[in-house]
A = this chain, B = another copy of it.
Amino acid sequence: MTSLPSILGGLDPTSDRAVFRQIADQLREAIDRGRFKEGEKLPSEAELVEHYGVSRMTVRNSFSILQGEGLVHAEHGRGVFVRPRPPVRRLASDRFARRHREQGKSAFIVEADAVGSHPTVDSLEVKEEKASQDISTRLGSVRRVLARRRRYLLDGRPVEFATSYLPLDIARGTQIAEPNPGPGGIYARLEELGHQLDHFEEEIRARMPSPSEVKTLQLASGVPVIHLIRTAFDTAGRAVEVCDTVMAADAYVLSYQLPAT
């Protein structure tokens, strides 16, 4: 085992940089340089207290900085560990192409299988409800909507929580209102119902999660979410679905292809 002083330097008492920041800097640098590897345990609070000759709260303060940056995570009773970068799911911009839809399987399942992950869907909920102001606007002033909520997991880890909203006059009484929408998902059903899809619009934001999002996505601290709102338009120019998706940002890379013309 390598001794602490060989990895972490000393403090600069002349510096005006706060001690706990100096410690955080040294730990961050050590992690970046690979002196501490992914999943590896950092020195315990007590060891750092010893090494730097500071109080425990100061060390904890340093850790809390690194936690906020998403670099490390603490486990009660075990230690503080370098946060491993989880496998990332790439979302290609053609993921809703009709040819995929015609294959029958849902987009999520297909992709997950492709990378060898075990996909799951839970927290299914399908119900009619009052449309929020925003959803109503996007769907063209509808009052009530059919909401389809579900959570996606990859190898048991929740990565995405999505809600689809559809106007009642389209969805009510159809298979879209059933828990299982059938092969190809609701987009396939929409087209069968005569709503030939023309294009999608996606809006992307990134922000820190709310406490409830932390819970449903089991997010580590320092992990933002990607908030994606997709609106599907049929060839008549009508918005036929709005899908509101919140994704664990450390589990996704979104990919888009744009024409240059």
Within 8 A of B (CB), among A155-206: 187, 197-206
Residue of B nearest to A28 (CB): B211
Q: Which of A210, A223, A261 is packed against the most chain B CB atoms within 10 Å? A: A261
Given contacts A206-B206, A208-B222, contact A96 B258 (CB under 8 A): yes
Q: Which of A200, A204, A232 is packed against the most chain B CB atoms within 10 Å? A: A204
Within 8 A of B (CB), among A1-43: 25, 28
Instruction: Give the distance in Å from the alpha carbon of A223 to the alpha carbon of B224 in the complex.
Output: 9
- With beta carbons under 8 angstroms apart, the residue of B28, B199, B222 that contacts A259 is B199
Given contacts A211-B28, A224-B224, A249-B224, contact A204 B254 (CB under 8 A): yes
- With beta carbons under 8 angstroms apart, the residue of B68, B252, B256 that contacts A93 is B256
Residue of B nearest to A260 (CB): B197
Contact A207 B221 (CB under 8 A): no
CB distance from A160 to the nearest CB of B (A): 13
- Chain B residues with CB under 8 Å of A25's CB are 211
- Chain B residues with CB under 8 Å of A205's CB are 249, 252-254
Given contacts A224-B208, A249-B206, A249-B207, contact A199 B260 (CB under 8 A): yes
- Chain B residues with CB under 8 Å of A64's CB are 64
- With beta carbons under 8 angstroms apart, the residue of B98, B226, B249, B258 that contacts A260 is B98
21 residue pairs A–B, Cβ–Cβ below 8 Å: A25-B211, A57-B57, A64-B64, A69-B211, A94-B258, A97-B259, A97-B260, A98-B260, A198-B260, A201-B256, A201-B257, A203-B253, A203-B254, A203-B255, A204-B204, A204-B226, A204-B253, A205-B254, A207-B250, A208-B223, A224-B224
